[in-house]
Amino acid sequence: MSKKIIRIQNVTKLYRMGNEVIRAVNGLDLDIYQGEVCCLFGKSGSGKSTLLNLIAGLEKPTKGEIIFHNHHIERMNENQLADFRQKYVGFVFQSYNLLPTLTAAENVMLPLIFKNVPVKERHERALKMLKAVGLEGRANHKPSEMSGGQQQRVSIARAFINRPQVVFADEPTGNLDTKTTYEMMDLITGLAKENHQTLVIVSHDMELSEYAHRIVVMMDGKIKSIEQKTMDENTGKDGGEEV
Ligand code: ADP
Ligand code: MG
């Protein structure tokens, strides 16, 4: 097994709603390994999105430690978290989260603008990335001029353009049909494999499990089960049954 990239230790996230306290994540421990495709499954409300947001530095835990390499995410202030996200992580969301007034190429190059990459290089890298996701002819299209699958391809290009160490995806295929779902999963896992990047994918759709190296099932803010599938070093895919 490869080395641990993220350690989640006794993490709790509480939400207060009036007099009620919701334990969205409840004293959870989990390690994420470099280069793995880790799928987080569970019913709606089981705490998957909350856990993902905590690991990705989008939200702060109420209690516990989240250690990325040697960086304690739970100790970072907002500026440090923003730097951390820019440097190390990419995101893919169910609703794509593209900026509607920008073209596909402009959306893809956004992470490079924050990193002060020169204009010419930004354009070149965005076009290259769009090509990699199969959208060569769509660089100047706005999100409203593209299908859902195409918009998700743009968001995948944006997530990967900085070569982040970890890409987090929250229900990335939730709005897509079955055929497009498989295309998107092939694309995400293929890109991640090229650069030995780590993928953490949240879904309630068990169909995605065939892409997972490890399946973590959540229930009531806790881990219900973890299934380690064999990881083929050569293909990066599940080794499956051997004859
Ligand atoms: P999942 O992604 O598995 O559907 P979530 O992590 O979104 O689950 O939610 C876990 C629990 O936390 C749910 O009961 C949900 O209602 C609650 N929750 C999530 N986000 C908030 C919030 N911002 N404020 C209050 N409660 C929340
Ligand atoms: Mg969710």
Task: Write out pLDDT tens, residues 12-54.
Answer: 999 999 999 999 999 999 999 999 999 999 999 999 999 999 9
Please report which ligand is nearest the Cα atom of 48.
1
Question: Rounded mean pLDDT of 74-96?
Answer: 95
Residues with Cβ within 8 Å of 120's Cβ and at least 6 positions away in sequence, in order, are none
Atom 14 in ligand 1: which residue has the minimum CA distance?
45
Q: What pLDDT is recorded for position 2?
A: 81
CA 44 / ligand 1 centre spacing (Å): 9
Residues with Cβ within 8 Å of 161's Cβ and at least 6 positions away in sequence, in order, are 90, 108, 109, 111, 112, 125, 126, 129
Q: Quick one: tokens of 207?
A: 């169909």
Question: Rounded mean pLDDT of 91-120?
Answer: 94
DSSP structural state of residue 238: B
CA 159 / ligand 2 centre spacing (Å): 19
Backbone angles phi, psi at 16, to 5 degrees: -100, 125
Q: What pLDDT is recorded for position 133?
A: 96
Find out whether the beta carbon of 50 lies less than 6 Å from any atom of ligand 1. Answer: yes
Tell which one of 22, 49, 53, 55 to mutate to probe ligand 1, the residue whose CB is within 8 A of the most ligand atoms: 22
Find out whether the beta carbon of 45 lies less than 6 Å from any atom of ligand 1. Answer: yes
Backbone angles phi, psi at 222, to 5 degrees: -125, 170
Residues in the chain: 243
Find out whether the beta carbon of 143 lies less than 6 Å from any atom of ligand 1. Answer: no
Exposed, middle or buried, 240 (CB in 10 Å: 0-12/13-18/19+)? exposed
Pick from 174, 73, 196, 162: which is nearest to 185 by CA? 174
